[in-house]
Amino acid sequence: MKICRGLVSSIDVTHRCNLSCKHCYFRLQKHFSELGDDEWVERVKWLIGEYGTRLLIILGGEPLLRRDLCIKLNGLLPIWLVTNGTLPIPEVKGRVFVSIDGTEQIHDWIRGRGTYRVIVSNIDELSMPYTVTTVLNAVNYKCMPDLVDEWVRRGAESFWVSLHTPPPYDIVLRGRQREECINMLRKLTSEYGSDVMWFTDYMLDSMLRGDLTDMCGCRRLVVSLDPMGRVKVPCEMAGQDCSMCGLHIAHLLTGVIRGDADTINLALRIMGGVLGG
């Protein structure tokens, strides 16, 4: 399977956010301004022309602080809209990802008091399928089975789960805890299937090791732009510790580059054929 750099791109559409989560990598990057609507449209057209981008991951900050722009960009190509879920969520062509980092009490401890209830109410108003995205760390990983059970019952279609990539280091999963977490994810994947829990054995083994170094699929395949429209190096998570990387898409795309058949198959399923065959 051939896959070119930039078929998948990501943009930090804003440097602003209405939350202040304990594990946030984005705030550590210290962005202070952002492109205007027309400038972003031009920048995305450039991605399409230069790299053949066919899937745009819209991140922030909180992208729905620029709701109209998100909708405008979705007129150009399919998007994955990644939101903290605290603002009304529009329907898009592509996928909606809502960040939920634990059962109610733990989620609120990480993301701010009362945020869980607001998300539930915004999701109740959403009429398209959605994916829950979760970042596991030493504080929240044990609640993952309850989180999955609750959100499958609430109607979530799938789960996009990463492990926290430091800094900050105090909540990173290491040693026995990391093993325990990966074993739990393996069990959940076998129970619900990989269309719900987006993992393969290759990816879980890779996440256990953490270190992707130069083979990182994200670094090699995804073009990421900061709020000013500049290319981020080496990846969206610029400044994080590659030796302890837990980013789901990094392990997914590394499996693709390495030719793992199950991981290629999963990537094709969740990216809706964007990667080609």
Tokens of 151: 């959100």
Partners of 131 in the beta sheet? 97, 158
Q: Which residue in 118, 115, 182, 95 sits closest to 144, CA to CA? A: 182
Shortest distance, position 192 Cβ to ligand SF4, whole Å: 25
Shortest distance, position 128 Cβ to ligand SF4, whole Å: 21
Which is closer to ligand SF4, CB of 61 or CB of 94? 61
Gap between the Cα atoms of 179 and 205, Å rounded: 10
Tokens of 18: 């209405």
CA dihedral 134, 265, 263, 54 (to 10 degrees): -60
Q: Is 207 in the site for ligand SF4 (CB under 6 A)?
A: no
Among 15, 54, 164, 219, binds ligand SF4 (CB under 6 A): 219
Of 31-39, 63-71, 124-132, 242-250, the window that binds ligand SF4 (rule: CB under 6 A) is 242-250
Enter the DSSP assignment of 127.
-
Q: Could you tell me the end-to-end alpha-carbon distance of the chain, in angstroms, rounded to an integer? A: 6
Of 36-44, 142-150, 216-224, 263-271, the window that binds ligand SF4 (rule: CB under 6 A) is 216-224
Q: Is 85 in the site for ligand SF4 (CB under 6 A)?
A: no
Q: Is 21 in the site for ligand SF4 (CB under 6 A)?
A: yes
Shortest distance, position 227 Cβ to ligand SF4, whole Å: 11
Contact 253, 206 (CB under 8 A): no
Positions 245 through 264 that interact with ligand SF4 (CB under 6 A): 245, 247, 250
Partners of 224 in the beta sheet? 10
Q: How far is CA 101 from CA 106, 116, 144, 226, in A?
A: 7, 9, 9, 24
Positions 41 through 70 that interact with ligand SF4 (CB under 6 A): 60-62
Of 68-76, 173-181, 241-249, 262-270, the window that binds ligand SF4 (rule: CB under 6 A) is 241-249
Shortest distance, position 212 Cβ to ligand SF4, whole Å: 4
Gap between the Cα atoms of 216 and 243, Å rounded: 11
Residues that bind ligand SF4 (CB under 6 A): 17, 19-21, 24, 26-27, 60-62, 84, 165, 212, 216, 218-219, 234-235, 237, 240, 242, 245, 247, 250
